[in-house]
Amino acid sequence: MKPEDLINMTRLALSGEESDVRLFAAQLVRKYRKTDPKTASQLEDLLKSAPTRSSSVLRKQNINTDTFQVTSISDPQINGLLKYEFSTPIERPLLSTSIEQSFMQVTAEHRRVEILQKKGLKPTSSIIFKGPPGVGKTISARWLANELDLPFYILDLTSVMSSLLGKTGNNLRAVIDFAKSHPCVLFLDEIDAIAKRRNDESDVGELKRLVTVMLQEIENWPACGLLIAATNHPDLVDPAIWRRFDLEIQFSQPTETQLKQAVNEFLGDDAADFAPWMEEILSRLKGSSFSDVKRLVSSLRKLRLINPNRFESTMLEKLVPDLGLLSRAERINMAVDWVRKFDMPILRAAKMFSVSRDTIRKSI
């Protein structure tokens, strides 16, 4: 080890800031991996065998929910990294059977890492999620971290980007060094922002260099942690990036069964009160994501609490889809259905669905 590195390490150790020592040690591992592999290996083993105890590298932010608290990294070299600390267990996300099986496999591997290592194997250490917004990618990453009892970090990739040539790569490496310095789950959302195809002529050379950084890091992710990336635009991601991840998981829009489960879950104690409108709620949510379900159900529950006397009429208006997308026959059927089911006055149904009163009367 070079004298200046030894002096800097000693200075950090004497300052009592364990997180700074760990970060510097991780940087030394990278520095000496080629020139002094024995020292690099010993340092890496020390980092893995001694879990972090101090949280002084974190500072509190005013971001709180009922289930987690968010803190940000105070080190000026680490920008945009947020840590989520869970105060209550996270419920299992509503996912397809194939995704649940994949998650069970990942958690089982990490809980039995010693058995795998004896056979020269390592647990899944990198996963890439792909799928449209709102289908459960982020909450799934949080749930996995909670199941593995590991710290959970989300990197805001926009804050890593820099107009200064070479700075973005340094920012990303600093975050990765920190995440590798102790067991944790690092979630990189919208990875297509920094891992675009290198044949994309619209990108500057800096973005191409970021792909190289990611290629170097993904394969060497420590077995004691987990790197999870997510993208809404898989076609933009460099193919070489895909090949480096241990596991690829496709998220899709929820099925009808999953939608019904989600509605009931988000309704909570109010589920029985909304039972008469369940068919209409599900019809309104067809093709929606889980985040759309949560948003609509939350809105309906609040409407009922704030103005119970006008709740039914207001709720029905919220459940009416875009009438411009419906044919005249569909509007008539819906108007008749709501008059029969909810005793809606024919005049009101006629105005809401833009059909005549006589047409509704004849259909009834």
Question: What is the DSSP secondary-structure string of 120-158?
Answer: T-----EEEEE--TTSSHHHHHHHHHHHHT--EEEE-HH
325 and 213 within one domain: no
Last residue of a domain, one of 250, 271, 296: 250
Q: Which residues contact 40 (CB under 8 A, 6 or more apart)?
A: 28, 29, 30, 31, 32, 33
Tokens matching residue 293: 């379900």
d(CA 178, CA 198): 27
206 and 287 within one domain: no
313 and 190 within one domain: no
d(CA 353, CA 327): 11
189 and 95 within one domain: yes
137 and 158 within one domain: yes
298-337 core/surface letters (b: 16 or more CB in 10 A; e: else): eebbebbeeeeeeebeebbeebeeeeeebeeeebbebbbb
78 and 37 within one domain: no
Residue 143's CATH number: 3.40.50.300
Amino acid at 273: D
Report how far apart, in Å, the C-alpha atoms of 326 and of each of 61, 268, 317, 322, 340 are: 47, 32, 15, 7, 20
Of 191, 166, 170, give the one whose Cα is nearest residue 78: 170
**3-state secondary structure (DSSP) of residue 237:** strand
246 and 260 within one domain: no
137 and 38 within one domain: no
pLDDT at 246: 94
pLDDT at 47: 66
* 253-294 tens-digit pLDDT: 888 888 999 999 999 999 998 888 888 888 888 888 888 898
Last residue of a domain, one of 212, 232, 250: 250
* 114-163 tens-digit pLDDT: 999 999 999 999 999 999 888 889 999 999 999 999 999 998 776 666 54
d(CA 167, CA 190): 20
pLDDT at 334: 84
d(CA 363, CA 332): 8
174 and 152 within one domain: yes
Which residue positions in the chain have pLDDT lower than 70? 1, 4-5, 7-24, 26-27, 30-31, 44, 47-79, 86-89, 158-166, 195-208, 313, 321-322
pLDDT at 187: 95
pLDDT at 236: 84
66 and 198 within one domain: yes
**Other CB atoms within 10 Å distance of the CB of residue 177:** 21
Domain with 152, as residue range(s), is 58-250
Residue 281's H or E segment, with its range, is: helix 278-285
d(CA 254, CA 318): 21
Q: How far from each other are the two terminal CA atoms of the chain, in whole angstroms?
A: 88
d(CA 145, CA 321): 38
Amino acid at 8: N
The structural domain count of the chain equals 3
pLDDT at 229: 92
Amino acid at 211: V
Please provide the DSSP assignment of 4-47 as one string: HHHHHHHHHHHHT-HHHHHHHHHHHHHHHTTT-HHHHHHHHHHH
